[in-house]
Amino acid sequence: MFKTFMKAALRFKKDECGAAMVEYAVALLVVTGIGIGVMTTLGTTAGVKVQDACTGLNGGAACTAPVAPG
């Protein structure tokens, strides 16, 4: 049992597929983080623009979201 584990461990150490997989995972995390940051910024900016448009259309009065019944 131990010999089988050691053979597998040595084979994994020689094989570079594991390292490439880790590099792809790190790259995916970086791209995901950048995407979340961009979407958050765009969402905030869009929300401000919609609020400005609503206030302009409402004659300067503040806009409020409709309250759901119930």
| Mean local confidence (pLDDT), 61-69 | 74
State the Cα–Cα distance between residues 3 and 46, nearest whole angstrom: 61
| Mean local confidence (pLDDT), 61-65 | 77
Q: What Cα–Cα distance (Å) separates residue 46 from each residue in 13, 25, 43?
A: 49, 31, 5
**Does position 70 have pLDDT exceeding 80, yes or no?**
no
pTM of this structure: 0.55
Give the model confidence (pLDDT) of 3-59 as tens digits. Answer: 887 787 777 666 666 678 888 999 999 999 999 999 999 999 998 898 889 888 888
Host H or E run for residue 45: helix 17-57
Which pLDDT does position 22 carry in this prediction?
Answer: 86
